[in-house]
Amino acid sequence: MDRLTAETRIAELTKQIERHNYLYYVEDRPEITDAEYDQLMRELLELEGLFPDLAQPDSPTQRVGGEPLPFFEKVVHKTPMLSLGNAFNEDDLRDFDRRVRQAVGSQTVRYVCELKIDGLAVSLHYENGLFVKGATRGDGTTGEDITQNLRTIRSIPLRLSEPLTLEARGEAYMPKPAFEKLNKEREERGEPLFANPRNSAAGSLRQLDPKIAASRQLDTFIYSIGDLQGMRVESHSEGLALLESLGFHVNKERRVFSDIEDVIAFIDGWIEKRPSLPYEIDGMVIKVDSYAQQQELGFTAKSPRWAIAYKFPAEEAITILEGIEVSVGRTGTVTPTAILKPVSLAGTTVKRASLHNEDIIREKGLLLGDHVVVKKAGDIIPEIVAVLPERRTGAETPFSMPTHCPECGSELVRVEEEVALRCINPMCPAQIREGIIHFVSRTAMNIEGLGEKVVAQLFNQDIVRSVADLYYLHLQRDELLGMERMGEKSVDNLLAAIEASKENSLERLLFGLGIRLVGAKAARVLAEHFGDMDAIMQANEEELTQIDEIGPKMAASLVNYFRQPQAQAVIERLRDAGVNMTYKGIRVESGADLPFAGKTIVLTGTLAQMTRQEAEEAIARLGGKVTGSVSKKTDLVIAGEKAGSKLEKAEKLGVAVIDEAGFREILDNN
Ligand code: IVH
């Protein structure tokens, strides 16, 4: 093919493919099959391969994801990306309406009511119609340049239908079916699951390798114009219509009302319809339509006065309790789990719910076969909040906890002061297996590729019977290759991950050993204080209790653990295998010069650039102590995105608050 023909064909294919993207992702009415679409893509890729200089910046082939980035550049937003004030009930909405009407006097007010999409805010920049840059919201003032990842989202036009220069803002999200599929695949691979579609969308867009975002089926809803050049728009609804005509995915479920009571009725309708949507919403947004009125109303320090977010109450669903499964944890605690008829709740299919302990079963009078109300507690673990006895048919049956361990058969005991039943056989296979699962988990030794299922297989086939065996697995390559779904490559990866974990700092190992009462935080305190494993093993109760945060019970548990010959043997085998036994972080000896020295700090909301554990580790390194709740004793609150009641409380008590950017600055300077 000659160059000219190729050029014409490339332009044609680009147009066709983008049209089909639009039909599929924005209009939801595809005209061709996936195979036909793939064929067009292949042809374009082939031509671009033959004539690389003809590949256009807005080519749909750009969507497959280019090379990984070393880091994300910072983007300062031209106008800050603010958040919204919240309304939690109808009266809050009526108050909002009153404030708006007071400010605009006798003019008519029109409200645009939209769904509040639960994803993450993004800003998209176009120059002369071409998508040039996209960023996260970050702290509102400065975000991160995630253009490479956003390009992979097919509902984001790479070229607008008109050559306009503008900034569009909206929400990137993961549709519920894509989320469920992703988590299922992760579960099969033994990878940690995402708690909800919002986290998985955020996690996907924060990857430096755009191929990951490209594989995640993300979508967008654009909800405002940040900046528009060479054109005047008078109202928000006009702006949305313009965005739609330019090729953006704008949510269709929006309505305009003049009366706040109609707004309330519309919202009520959505509380009902919410579960049937194929994406997550966490509320509704009500915006004054006229831009002139918006300007009159202005902003508070954090949010516009012309808009408000109505937050939905936590989502609940009714389903049937089909069974109760009893399992044994690593400390021998026996926990019942409700097996439910699968039901869709807050974006995920719920099949199990926590029952914590037997008392809850008794208190709630649960019978097998009962209709129950399930609710998402926090983010991921659903719980049963109520029983509906009025729905009983008479076929329901009572449940009683077993008297013997379901795994090893030994008699269960109720430990004093504890509600839970416990298996006290130290050789109970369930406890050993769960202990290994804990050891390899993300917060402990963080060995990738060793999910629960793989560990269970290794354990059941007698390949790994203690955590130390993991470090001798390279001697059992053939056995590994003989396991289900274990090819050469996965075995290599697994062995490499195990090898890498040898270098972990002491606190991970200490936490991983699963010593009773010793959590991640205590492990860090101990590692920091003693510096190496031997010193901890030799410490007596008195020395241990002298450390802040180590109480007498934990001290006794530590001494008791290290006294056991089996524990000593495991540690020796780990040491022989080359597992690091020293603390590698910064030791806080006096700590007086550190910025957080002696400070009690509360973390709240979601941090965009680090996990909670990383933030806690950083605070500890800088001398601070992290606590869970805000009180007068709190010195500082670090508030990420969507910080809620803790932030409010801090503000009420006059406790100092910094955002993620402020926190970063302290970290960078230290
Ligand atoms: S308007 C000035 N409209 O909700 C703020 N926001 O706190 C303009 N969100 O993170 C935001 N759906 O990303 C607006 N239809 C919608 C929205 C929406 C979701 C998010 C937004 C922000 C948060 C507001």
- Is 581 a domain residue? no
| Cα–ligand 1 centroid distance for 654 (angstroms) | 28
d(CA 384, CA 366): 10
Q: What's at 202, amino acid-wise? A: A
Measured in whole angstroms, the distance separating CA 508 from the mean position of its chain's CA atoms is 22
Per-residue confidence at 590, pLDDT binned at 50, 70, 90?
A: very low
Q: Which ligand 1 atom is at minimum distance from the Cα of 282? A: 19
Distance in angstroms (rounded) separating the CA atoms of residues 179 and 216? 8
The CB of 198 under 6 Å from ligand 1? The reply is no
Same domain as 99, residue 163: yes
Residue 171, ligand 1, Cβ within 6 A = yes
Number of structural domains, the chain? 6
634-644 mean pLDDT = 86
Question: Using a 6 Å cutoff on CB, does residue 80 contact ligand 1?
Answer: no
Residue nearest to atom 7 of ligand 1 (CA): 83
For ligand 1, is residue 83 a contact (CB within 6 Å)?
yes
- Residue 306 Cβ inside 6 Å of ligand 1? The answer reads no
Render pLDDT for 38-54 as a digit per residue (tens, 0 to 9): 899 999 999 999 999 99
Q: Say how many Å lie between the CA of residue 83 and the centre of ligand 1.
A: 7
Regarding whether 227 and 295 lie in a shared domain, the answer is yes
* Same-domain check for residues 133 and 240: yes
Expressed in angstroms and rounded, the spacing between residue 348 Cα and the centre of ligand 1 is: 22
Residue 223 in contact with ligand 1 by CB distance below 6 A: yes
Helix (H, G, I), strand (E, B) or coil at 278: coil
What separation in Å is there between the alpha carbon of 136 and the centre of ligand 1?
13
- CATH of residue 354's domain is 2.40.50.140
Same domain as 129, residue 56: no
Residues 334 and 459 in one domain: no
Residue 649 lies in a domain: yes
**Ligand 1 proximity of 118 Cβ (cutoff 6 Å):** no
210 and 264 part of one domain: yes
pLDDT band at residue 347 under the 50/70/90 scheme? low
Pairing of strands 111-117, 219-228: unpaired
Residue percentage of the chain with pLDDT more than 70: 96
End-to-end CA, the chain: 60
168 three-state secondary structure: strand
| Residue that is last in its domain, among 355, 378, 398 | 398
Alpha-carbon span 190 to 485, nearest angstrom: 12
User: Could you give the C-alpha distances from 3 to 48, 51, 112, 617, in angstroms and in order?
Assistant: 11, 8, 51, 58
Q: Three-state DSSP class for 86? A: strand
Q: Which residue's CA is the nearest one to ligand 1's atom 12?
A: 116
Residues 156 and 300 in one domain: yes
| Structural domain ending residue among the three candidates 284, 311, 338 | 311
DSSP conformation letters of 106-129? TS---EEEEEEE-SEEEEEEEETT
- Residue 23 tokens read as 């039909």
pLDDT at 587: 54
Q: Which ligand 1 atom is the nearest neighbour of the CA of 116?
A: 12
Nearest CA to ligand 1 atom 6: 116
Question: What is the average pLDDT value for the chain, to the nearest integer?
Answer: 89
Say which CATH number the domain at 539 has: 1.10.150.20
Question: Is 584 part of a structural domain of the chain?
Answer: no
Mutate to test the pocket of ligand 1, among 82, 83, 274 (most ligand atoms within 8 A of CB): 83
Q: Say if residue 320 is exposed, middle or buried (CB neighbours under 10 Å; 0-12, 13-18, 19+).
A: middle
404 in any annotated domain: no
Number of neighbours of residue 489 by Cβ within 10 angstroms: 8
339: domain range?
316-398
pLDDT band at residue 650 under the 50/70/90 scheme:
confident
Residues assigned a catalytic role: 116
Residue 444 included in any domain: yes
Q: Which CATH number covers residue 28?
A: 1.10.287.610
Q: What is the pLDDT of residues 349-377, one digit of tens each?
A: 889 988 876 777 888 789 999 999 998 75
Last residue of a domain, one of 311, 329, 353: 311
Closest CA to 663 of 589, 590, 610: 610
The band of 134, judged by pLDDT with boundaries at 50, 70 and 90, is very high
- Between strands 316-328 and 142-144, the pairing is unpaired
What spacing in Å lies between the alpha carbon of 318 and ligand 1's midpoint? 30
* pLDDT at residue number 592: 56
Query: Are residue 480 and residue 518 in the same domain, yes or no?
Result: no
Tens digits of per-residue pLDDT, 427-486?
899 999 999 999 999 889 999 888 888 999 999 999 999 999 999 999 999 999 988 888
Mind listing the pLDDT tens digit for each residue in 266-324?
A: 999 998 888 789 999 989 999 999 999 999 999 988 899 999 999 887 778 899 999 99
DSSP character string of 354-410: E--SHHHHHHTT--BT-EEEEEEETTTEEEEEEE-GGG--S--B-----SB-TTT-P
Query: Cα dihedral angle (336, 342, 347, 353), rounded to 10 degrees?
Result: -10
Answer whether 237's CB lies under 8 Å from 287's CB: no
CB-based contact 342:353 (threshold 8 Å): no
Nearest-10 crossing angle of helices 197-205, 176-188? 80
Claim to verify: residue 322 and residue 389 sit in the same structural domain: yes
Are 222 and 239 a contacting pair, CB within 8 Å? Answer: no
Same domain, yes or no: 227 and 367: no
Residue 592 in any domain: the answer is no
Does residue 576 carry a pLDDT above 50? yes
Q: Which of 230, 421, 222, 265 shows the shortest CA–CA distance to 334?
A: 421
| Domain assignment present for 403 | no
DSSP assignment of 597-661: TT-EEEEESB-SSS-HHHHHHHHHHTT-EEESS--TT--EEEE-BT--HHHHHHHHHT-EEEEHH
Q: 469 with 525, same domain?
A: no
CATH of the domain at 648: 3.40.50.10190
- Whether 365 and 442 share a structural domain: no
Ligand 1 centroid to residue 169 C-alpha, Å: 9
